[in-house]
Amino acid sequence: MANAYDYDLYVIGAGSGGVRASRISAGFGARVAVAEDRPLGGTCVNVGCVPKKLFVYSSHTAEDIEDAAGYGWTVEGVKFHWPTLIANKNKEIERLNGIYRKLLDNAGVDLHEARATLVDAHTVDVGGRQVTAETILIATGGWPYLPDIPGVEHAITSNEAFFLDDLPKRVAVIGGGYIAVEFAGIFNGMGSKVTQLYRGEQILRGFDADVRHTLAEEIRKKGIDLRCHVNVMRIDKTDTGLTLHLTDDSMLEVDTVMFATGRVPNTKDLNLHDIGVATDEKGAILVDEFSKTSVDNIYAIGDVTDRIALTPVAIMEGMAFARTLYGGMPTAVDHANVPSAVFSQPPVGSVGLTEEEARAEHGDVHIYRSTFTPMKHTMTGRGEKTMMKLIVEPKSDRVLGAHMVGPDAGEIIQGIGIAVKIGATKAQFDATIGIHPTAAEEFVTMRDRVEPLAEAAE
Ligand code: NDP
């Protein structure tokens, strides 16, 4: 009986997923409280998507100023002041923290600003106080992972990169995933000398091979020293900086080393094991399609479940949870064809299957690819290329995947994502009139098939 408990729903974590689930559940009439011991909004608002995108805007300004020369502008006395950027960013994030607080307040959700742990399946300890709830939702997100190597205490992660006192002159970024390529681009644009070290064959594992190759080429052109097949074994602090000892027996001296080597689910201190909430070997909470854990009244959403670690996915999971439990509309989460962008420079946008995945699932697939100089750069001399690609299933003519590297890739792929989600065919793409002159029009004007990737065809 719901009334026997202090609340109908207790949410642990006020990030993107937790706040959405709290608000919508309360809107359906549930009595809801949420616990959070850090600034409201979670990773995305405080140390993720939002400040990262602001940094990308700042960083890309350097290139925009250079490119202005081709259009007749002389820009003199250009200077960059890191503390101004940090101060303005902090102000904007505080504004967003305030909006999150208001959203919870307006929805009638009680906010408990303390750390919460589970006492039993219906009881939470929040800052030393015990609170009971019929249902508990865990939305505690993730935390940067650092490999256990000597000297790693001298390294930073993306958490600290947003608050550095000074812009480092020489930076090593370790990793080849989303965060690594984004921060390598950010520091490079701002004028740091950037070395990016990746242990594997090619950055952005899991993305389409053409995207990976194109981006690697473009970021090298911009001056990032991207080295693959190499990792850090040890970090020594010296009088002049940090010396990295690398697996290829070389050494690298930098001022800052940033590890972007993945994130782990935030489940450590929740007491999940004692309560019987099952996790996988990484600590991620195992859930069914309604986000229910192995304990009947405990649910989990967002990065802590390690399904797809993206803010809009956590929000969708939070919505589905609220509709299922309190809206009378059982809604399974749908992780198919989730579009995403990497805010590298140039950015990447992707939706649907990669060529490799499409080939594994559907056998023979048709590939359409276009590589061209974006119109803006015909007069800047930058030499940057844009790559667009469609993957089509021949029998049904369905577009299985769309991928892009180039300016505005995220903005463009968001629209293309709708078409892929509703199962549009290549003929329907072709029947769509392009908007001229844009880069996006290329997605509806690619007529000639190209050879599949050599490695995918093997
Ligand atoms: P990723 O999983 O994307 O990348 C981790 C990288 O670190 C990989 O290149 C991995 O190599 C490498 N790595 C892992 N362990 C080690 C190690 N011990 N030594 C050296 N290298 C290592 O994680 P991120 O931290 O970049 O991002 C976490 C998640 O956050 C992403 O998966 C994404 O879902 C989300 N995110 C989304 C963004 C967006 O939408 N724009 C932006 C930022 C984050 P390998 O490939 O060999 O495993």
Question: Tokens 């990016």 correspond to what residue?
Answer: 196
Q: What is the pLDDT of residue 197?
A: 98
Q: Which atom of ligand 1 is nearest to the CA of 231?
A: 20
Q: Which of 157, 182, 261 to mutate to test the pocket of ligand 1 (most atoms within 8 A of CB)?
A: 261
Q: Which of 199, 248, 307, 311 to mutate to test the pocket of ligand 1 (most atoms within 8 A of CB)?
A: 199
Tell me the sheet residues that pair with 370. 388
Instruction: Tell me which residue has its CA closest to atom 48 in ligand 1.
Output: 205
Lining residues, ligand 1, CB within 6 Å: 147, 174-180, 182, 198-200, 205, 231, 260-263, 309-310, 340-343
Cα 344 to Cα 356: distance, rounded to the nearest angstrom: 22
Q: Which atom of ligand 1 is nearest to the CA of 206?
A: 46
282 and 260 Cβ atoms separated by less than 8 Å: no
Cα 167 to Cα 224: distance, rounded to the nearest angstrom: 16
Cα atoms found within 13 Å of the Cα of residue 165, Cβ hemisphere only: 1
Instruction: Tell me which residue has its CA closest to atom 3 in ligand 1.
Output: 177
Cα 40 to Cα 14: distance, rounded to the nearest angstrom: 6
The one-letter code for the residue type at 334 is: D
Q: Against a cut of 0.85, is the pTM above it?
A: yes
Cα 196 to Cα 185: distance, rounded to the nearest angstrom: 10
Encode the chain (458 residues) as per-residue pLDDT tens digits: 546 999 999 999 999 999 999 999 999 999 999 999 999 999 999 999 999 999 999 999 999 999 999 999 999 999 999 999 999 999 999 999 999 999 999 999 999 999 999 999 999 999 999 999 999 999 999 999 999 999 999 999 999 999 999 999 999 999 999 999 999 999 999 999 999 999 999 999 999 999 999 999 999 999 999 999 999 999 999 999 999 999 999 999 999 999 999 999 999 889 999 999 999 999 999 999 999 999 999 999 999 999 999 999 999 999 999 999 999 999 999 999 999 999 999 999 999 999 999 999 999 999 999 999 999 999 999 999 999 999 999 999 999 999 999 999 999 999 999 999 999 999 999 999 999 999 999 999 999 999 887 654 44
The residues, ordered by sequence, that sit 6+ positions from 288 with a Cβ below 8 Å of its Cβ are none
264 and 309 Cβ atoms separated by less than 8 Å: no
Cα 238 to Cα 28: distance, rounded to the nearest angstrom: 58
Cα angle 249-251-252, degrees, rounded to a multiple of 5 = 145
Please confirm, yes or no, whether 436 is among the known catalytic residues.
yes
Ramachandran assignment for 434, one of left (phi > 0), alpha (psi -120 to 50 degrees), beta (any other): beta
Q: Which atom of ligand 1 is nearest to the CA of 180?
A: 26
Ligand 1: centre distance to CA 141 (Å): 15
Ligand 1: centre distance to CA 366 (Å): 30
Tokens coding 10: 């207790």
Q: What is the pLDDT of residue 326?
A: 98
Phi, psi of 415 (to 5 degrees): -70, -45
Cα 115 to Cα 124: distance, rounded to the nearest angstrom: 10
Nearest to 344 by CA among 222, 209, 193: 222
Question: Tokens 């993305």 correspond to what residue?
Answer: 207
Ligand 1: centre distance to CA 196 (Å): 13
Instruction: Tell me which residue has its CA closest to atom 25 in ligand 1.
Output: 262
Residue of 245, 366, 403, 436 with catalytic role = 436
Cα 315 to Cα 73: distance, rounded to the nearest angstrom: 43
Q: What is the pLDDT of residue 455?
A: 57
375 and 439 Cβ atoms separated by less than 8 Å: yes
Q: What is the pLDDT of residue 458?
A: 41
What are the Cα distances from residue 238, in Å, to 152, 235, 294?
Answer: 14, 10, 50
Question: Tokens 């001296």 correspond to what residue?
Answer: 253
Instruction: Tell me which residue has its CA closest to atom 23 in ligand 1.
Output: 262
Q: Which atom of ligand 1 is nearest to the CA of 147?
A: 18
Instruction: Tell me which residue has its CA closest to atom 29 in ligand 1.
Output: 309
Ligand 1: centre distance to CA 263 (Å): 7
Q: Which atom of ligand 1 is nearest to the CA of 308?
A: 34
Ligand 1: centre distance to CA 394 (Å): 33
Q: What is the pLDDT of residue 3?
A: 67
Cα 287 to Cα 61: distance, rounded to the nearest angstrom: 43
Q: Which of 47, 179, 350 to mutate to test the pocket of ligand 1 (most atoms within 8 A of CB)?
A: 179
What are the Cα distances from residue 121, in Å, to 32, 264, 293, 294?
Answer: 16, 24, 11, 11
